[in-house]
Each structure stands twice: as structure tokens, then as C-alpha cells.
Structure 1
Amino acid sequence: MSTLRDYFEDGPIPWTKQHILGLEYLSREEITLILDQAAEFSRLGELGITKHPLLSGVVVGNLFFEPSTRTRTSFGLAAKRLSADTVDFSPSGSSLSKGESFLDTARNIEAMGVSLMVVRHKTPGAPEFLSQRVASGVLNAGDGTHEHPTQGLLDLLTMRQECGSLEGKTVALVGDIRHSRVARSNIWGLTKLGAKVIVCGPATLIPPQIEKLGVEISYDFDAILPQVDCINLLRIQFERQRGAFFPSIHEYAHLFGMNRERLAKAREDVVILAPGPINRGVEITPEVADGAHSVILNQVSNGLAVRMACLYLLNRRQQQLLLQASTAEHV
């Protein structure tokens, strides 16, 4: 039986992070280590080895203060695949309605024996705020318009599988860049791995001065199609918008939607990604979403492997810190 290769030990650097709050805060080597460990979990999964005792006895708290289907389900399954116990929290029907604070809620859940917290919150910086006030390892599952690191990592893993090294590749992020935490995580991760990034969309949905993050800007999707290796189509964030950023859905789809005609203008081996949920007929037409160039379902599968890798690495770091504290007490 094939066994897990531990990139925590065998990787180019040791893993020293207690929290994963964003790809902005990870080095190229740390991102690569996560991707390599995720690829190993994926490899074992393809062999039918899906259950691992690596987090046996560990309790993972899934604290989702904002609605989620894919991310929440994926983290829950990732924890179970690693043999962890889980505590799930959602604000509906909780003590938050009675006036309990965000921090008190987290501390009470931590007191149940939780050592890893997966946190989604509508406020940018909420996971970082929590990481400074709890002993648990904190993993950001999306904080407002700031970052969504595991989505960025699963996108990177998917592109790496399709293209090999991302060094020198050109990736287009198309759509609602202004409101997208996925875009920010992608930008940080892709540029650190040596890819050229082009952000493309209506001028109203491109944040000012975003080129300072090392990206190029285009307002013409058709013009950049021949030069890109991967296209990541970002969902229009209707729930975060506070104004009319384009005249109509029809016009947006006409100018920035990925359809059969645009596919014909792109490279023959172009890779098309789209973080779910997708708005069919808006960012992407059904025949493209379900076509040969689409790796949307691969992204979902890779999300599980990435989240397993993140939980595994954070737990290893927690165990290191506990050992160091225990040793210090006996010195």
C-alpha cells in the first residue's frame, strides 16, 4: 500500500506558520510546499486511499459567519478524511443573536477542545483579528473582499496540473476584480510563482492602483485572448456590490463572457477555470463550462486536497508548539 509522502519534512523549507490568513503572507516556497502536499493527497485519493489517521483526536471548528456551500462542505470533508472531529458553527440561532461577541463565540468554541479554526466572515481582517487572540491555528476561509487563500491555492494547483510550472505562464483574471477576494489570492499566489497576471473587466470593476500588485490591466477581453495560457472567470459579486457597475447583465456577458466565439480566438490548449458558484450565461456559457477546456470540476476536487494539506500542516505546527511549550516547562 502506498503511504503518504510528508512534504512537511521533505519540502525545501520547514513549515513554521501557525495560521494561514492569506497568500500575501506566504512565501513562494511555502505556497509550493502546500501545493506539493495537496498533490500528494490527490495522488493517494486516485489510488483509493482517501482516509488518513493524521488528525485523529484533533477537533476542527468550522466557524462560518457568512453563507457557504462549497467551501464549508469541502473543509468538513477534508477534516473527516484526516480523521478529525468537527464542531460546526453558523450564526443563525446562535448566541450572537443574544449579543455575544465574535471573539467570545470563538473562545467558547475553542474551550470545547478545538485546536484548529476555519473562519469565514464578511469583515476583512476578521480571521487575523482572531488569530491574535486565540491559541488555535486559524485558517481563513474567506474574509469579505480581502482574501480566500484556499480558493487561490486550489486554483494554483489546478493550473499547475494543466500547465506544469507556472513560471512564465500568462493568466487572465476576468470579471469583478473589485469585489473578489479570490482575485486577490490568485494575484498574490500567481505572481509569487512567476506567472504574468492580466486583470480584465469593466473599468468600474477594476480597483484603482491594482497594478501596484504587479499585474497588467486590460479592458478588452478579446484583445488578450491569444496570449493567455489560463483564464480564470470570476463571478460577478452581486451580493457585495453597492451600485450599478455596468449597464446590464446582457452587456457584461457580451463584452466579458466566455463563449464559443471567444474560445475560437484563444489558444488551442487554453485552460478555463471558474470559482463556483458560476452564473451560467453571464461569466461563461454552458457549452464552455462543460467543454473540454474547462477544469471547473477539477477545481472542486483539488479544493478537498488543498484543504487537507492546510489542515495537516497547521496541525503539525500546533503539535510542534505544544512540544516546545512542554519542553520549556521542564527546563
Structure 2
Amino acid sequence: MRHFVSTRNLSSKYIFLILNKAEELRLQQEKLPEQIFVANLFFEPSTRTKMSFSVAQRKLGMETLDFQMETSSVTKGETLYDTAKTCEAIGANLLVIRHQEDNWYDELTPNLSLPVINAGAGRGEHPTQCMLDLLTIYQEFGTFTNLNVVIVGDIKHSRVARSNAYALTTLGANVYFAAAPGFKDDTMNFPYISIDEAVEKCDIMMLLRIQHERHTAKQYDSTSYLVQFGLTKERESRMKDHAIILHPAPVNRGVEIDTELVECQRSRIFKQMENGVYTRMAIMIILLKEWGYHNETNPNKCKKIN
């Protein structure tokens, strides 16, 4: 795969290539012998994804090009396309991009001669988040076949829901959605169940926050949302003994989940964050190898192999 921008067409073989490489990196550190320049172009706020990529890049020995949107030429009207082409021209080997447009990569990837990683595309997809979610599930269960995964929350505005639903289906899991009125997305062909059905059915409950920044008006207050549609302590008590809780974060405590459950025995929320470093390391290594930048048989070669 030339770029990592969507899970929609990923094969199970390619997904397991990433997961296995990530697990290998978790157990043993690896550094790239080549000098690699990477630009993290974040046009939306981020804590976990941006810091996770930064840590992953430093662990691999990469050189990170500094980009701050507020002090860049974006403030002068420069487009994402021209920002990306500038990075290419000055010698970047890899671009990691988060942008508010749903399909920003459709314009970029055919016109760039370096790999691109989607670190979040509007309401579209978030494929690297998906991979760390999958690694967390795989570490827990050792399989995806016939696992019941219920994705709960603001489905309509969630890029995490899309990427996970596509990939989990490819891997043989049973995917369900649970959402409050107004948060459903009927463009994706997955069954909806209630939150009370979800807690009893799921092996994995993947909670999502309300994407207020993508709404035109506030639809629910915190207390009523938790009681009607969130994971309360009473609902958690009805989950299967082995069932786990995931959340891409940031967590709105007391809204989609009771604050006492964020770090409960079932929760793998902070484990997901840890796994984010290894999966992003794996994705970058695999892409660089595919593009010929990372040549494991020739550690002295530092430029792209034609």
C-alpha cells in the first residue's frame, strides 16, 4: 500500500502485518538506520495522536520537521495541497496529516512522491486509531472472529467508528452500533441496537464522545445523555465477565461514561494509548519500506531507492 489513509480496502493480511509488527516493536526497540524526515501537519487539535506519532518517530530515530498551523503560511492562505508540496520539495520523506476535510487525501495522494498517513480526516476516517484499537482487542482475545463489537455514541460524526467498522468486518467480527437519536448514520450498513442491548451483547464496547465541534447546536446535556445513552455503573454491571471497554479519547467523563469506569478493571483506554505508539511505528516502517526509503538489507543507503 502506497499510502495509509483508509481501512475500507485493507486486507486482513495487511492488517495483521501491521499488528504483528507493532507487537514486535512493543517487545523490542528498533531504530531506522537511514536519516528520515517526517512532517506532522496537524490542522485540527490533537493530544494523543500527535504526541503518539512524535514519540513513535523519536523512538525510530526520525527527524521531525516543525509545523505549527498558527505560525505557518496557512494563515496567509496557503492550502493543504501547497503545504504538502512544500514539504515534499524541501526533502520530507513522510507526511502525517490531520485535516478537517473528510476526504482531503483524494487530492493529495495522486500528486505526491512520498507516503502519506491519515491522522484524522474530518468525519471520514481515522485509520491509525483503528489499528491501535485492533491491537488492543487482539492482545485481549487473540482473534477477531465472531467477536461482538458494539460502537456506542456519536456515530454520525465519528471517523473512528467508520475506520473500525470497516476493518473489524474484514477481520470477521460482528459490528453493531448504538446511538442516540440524531447521532445515527444510515449511510453505513450496520445494525443498530440499544445501549441496554449493547451492554449484554458485547465482547468489546467501544465508546465515542459527542463531537460537539461538528454539531450546529448542542443536543443533550451531560447528565441526561449518560443516563439515557451512556455507560453507567449499573449498565457496566450487566456486561459479560470478559467484556472490555475501549474509548479513543478524549473522554468526557460523566457524559458517555461514568467517571469511575474510565480506569476500572474492564477499561483498556490507557492501554490503547500505549499501543498507539507501537502501531504508528509499525505503519511508518512498513510504508517507508514499501517506498524504498527503508532498506533493511542495506543500512547505509539513506535516500529513496528507485
Pairwise TM-score range, normalised by the shorter structure: over 0.9
Gaps of 5+ in 2: 296-300
Q: Is the 8 A contact 1:225 1:266 kept in 2?
A: yes
Is the Cα contact below 8 Å between 2:292 and 2:305 reproduced in 1?
Answer: no
Aligned to 2:203: 229
Aligned counterparts of 1:93 and 1:249: Cα–Cα separation in 2: 35
Work out whether residues 222 and 254 of structure 2, in 8 Å CA contact, stay in contact via their aligned partners in 1.
no
Does structure 1 retain, via aligned residues, the 8 Å contact 2:226–2:258? no
Q: Tell me, yes or no, if the aligned pair for 2:94 and 2:115 is still in contact at 8 Å.
A: yes
Aligned to 2:260, the other structure's residue is in SS state: helix
RMSD of equivalent CA atoms: 1.8
Matched, 1:239 2:213: yes
Q: Distance in 2 between matches of 1:154 and 1:72?
A: 14
- 1:217 alignment counterpart: 192
Equivalent of residue 251 in structure 1, options 216, 221, 224:
224
Query: What pairs with 1:118-267 in structure 2 (closer than 5 Å)?
Result: 118-211=96-189, 215-218=190-193, 220-244=194-218, 246-267=219-240
Partner of 2:291: 318
CA separation in 2, counterparts of 1:183 and 1:42? Answer: 25
61, 80, 93: which is aligned to 1:102?
80
1:89 corresponds, among 57, 67, 71, to: 67
Aligned equivalent of 1:276, options 221, 238, 249: 249
Tell me by how many angstroms 1:326 deviates.
6.2
Deviation at 1:61, TM superposition (A): 0.9
Aligned to 1:204, the other structure's residue is in SS state coil
Q: Is the 8 A contact 1:137 1:315 kept in 2?
A: yes
Counterpart CA distance in 1 for 2:69 and 2:33 is 26
Q: 1:7-35 CA distances to partner (integer Å, 9 max, x unpaired)? A: xxxxxxxxxx1100110131111111111
Give TM-score scaled by structure 2 length: 0.93
In the TM superposition, residue 203 of structure 1 has moved relative to its aligned partner by 2.7
- Structure 1 Cα separation of the partners of residues 31 and 26 of structure 2: 16
Instruction: Tell me by how many angstroms 1:317 deviates.
Output: 1.0
The answer for the alignment partner of 2:265 in structure 1 is 292
User: Post-superposition shift, 1:320?
Assistant: 6.9
SS of residue in 2 equivalent to 1:105: helix
Conserved in 2, the CA contact under 8 Å of 1:143 and 1:181? yes
The amino acid that maps onto 2:186 is P
Shift of 1:210: 2.1
Tell me the matched-pair count.
Answer: 299
| Aligned residues of 2:146 and 2:172 also touching (Cα < 8 A) | yes
Counterpart in 2 of 1:12? none
Deviation track 1:221-253 (CA, whole Å, cap 9, x = no partner) reads 112322210000001101111234x44322211
CA distance in 2, matches of 1:262, 1:321: 48
Cα deviation for residue 293 of structure 1 reads 0.4
Counterpart of 1:29 in structure 2 is 13
Query: What secondary structure sits across from 2:27 in the alignment?
Result: helix
Residue 38 of structure 1 deviates from its aligned partner by: 0.7
Deviates more, 1:172-181 or 1:27-36: 27-36
Q: CA deviation at 1:148?
A: 0.3
- Alpha-carbon distance in structure 2 between the residues aligned to 1:253 and 1:124: 28
Q: Which structure has more RCO (C-alpha within 8 Å, separation ≥ 6)?
A: 2
**Distance (whole Å) between structure 2 residues aligned to residue 129 and residue 120 of structure 1:** 14
CA distance in 1: counterparts of 2:293 and 2:38, whole angstroms: 17
Contact 2:153 2:209 survives alignment (8 Å): yes
Q: Does 1:73 align with 2:33?
A: no
User: So what's the TM-score if we normalise by structure 1?
Assistant: 0.86
Pick aligned residue for 2:41 from 60, 63, 67:
63
Partner of 1:6: none
Change (3 A) 1:326 1:166: closer
- Distance of 2:2 and 2:225 partners within structure 1: 41
What is the identity percentage for the equivalent residue pairs of Structure 1 and Structure 2? 38
Check the 8 A contact 1:154/1:303 in 2, yes or no: yes
